[in-house]
A = this chain, B = another copy of it.
Amino acid sequence: MRESEECKKILENKAMFKMASPEFMDKLVQSAHLHNAGKGKVLFIHQDTADKFYIVVSGWVKLFRETLDGAQAVVDILPAGHIFGETSIFENDSYPYSAEAVEPSVIMSLPLSLLKQEIEDNPKLALAMLSAMARYRKQQDREIEHRTLQNASQRIGCFLLRLADQEATGPITIHLPYDKTLVASRLGMQPETFSRALGKLKDATGIKVKGATVELKSLDQLIDYSCSACSSEFPCHDLNA
């Protein structure tokens, strides 16, 4: 079966599963499934009973929470390769957020029960997960910092930097991976604010924006502008889990 071959390849490449036992990986591949999710497809809802966790194979997935009156807070927007829903293990088997595909995506689903079992049986996996969790925690801490110390334009600059190849020295072209409205919500601002703040960023740094394409002469333009309001030095490692 082609599907399981594909799943196998993806799973074996995940850092978190490098330490897993072969038996576990076999069982995991057996019960893995790929799903096509169109733009807007809701994968699960906050506080649903959780029996699966997921990996983004391609596309983008938004994690978010909603209040009763419909206001929405975006927790994160995940690119290909990221795991989500796995923390339900520690949350009474219920999802701590809702998940929705925001671009046409392929999602792999896997049973939480297997993961739960293997984490208890295999210390190496528990350590790998601990390490991943610590990295995520650091990211969230930084997010909170950014929201308090950076203004809208600086947050956009920082976002662009994280999309770029951080090693590059010359001119760079960046493509926004999803709608600007969505970038705005990811950065905790309104679409209108995003639009205006991007304009301000353009004036301040000389970057060029055409639709979803951003061109910079060099990273320094943005680094000066955004990273001055951040406690970390520029090459912000720790970005990909």
Contact = CB atoms under 8 A, between A and B. Distances in A.
Interface of A: 46, 65-69, 71, 73, 75, 87, 89-91, 96-97, 119-120, 123, 126-127, 129-131, 133-138, 140-141, 143-145, 147-149, 188, 228-231
Given A73-B148, A228-B69, A134 B134 contact: no
Contacts of A136: 137
Given A123-B126, A127-B120, A141 B96 contact: yes
Report whether over half of chain A's contact residues are helix, strand or loop; otherwise say mixed. helix
Given A75-B144, A91-B134, A119-B130, 16 more contacts: A65-B141, A67-B149, A67-B228, A67-B229, A71-B149, A73-B145, A87-B134, A89-B134, A90-B135, A96-B141, A120-B127, A123-B126, A143-B144, A144-B147, A144-B188, A147-B188
Contact of A65 (B46, B96, B188, B231): B231
When A and B form their complex, which 4 residue pairs have the shortest distance between CB atoms, in order from nearest? A90-B134, A65-B231, A123-B123, A73-B145
A65 B67 CA distance: 30
Contacts of A89: 134
A101 to B, nearest CB: 20
A91 B130 contact: no
Interface centre among A129, A143, A229, A231 (most CB of B within 10 A): A231
A129 to B, nearest CB: 6
A129 B143 CA distance: 23
B71 A141 contact: no
29 contacts: A67-B149, A67-B228, A67-B229, A67-B231, A68-B228, A69-B229, A73-B148, A73-B149, A73-B231, A75-B141, A87-B137, A91-B134, A96-B141, A97-B141, A120-B123, A120-B127, A123-B123, A126-B126, A126-B127, A126-B130, A130-B133, A133-B133, A136-B137, A140-B144, A143-B144, A144-B147, A147-B147, A147-B148, A147-B188
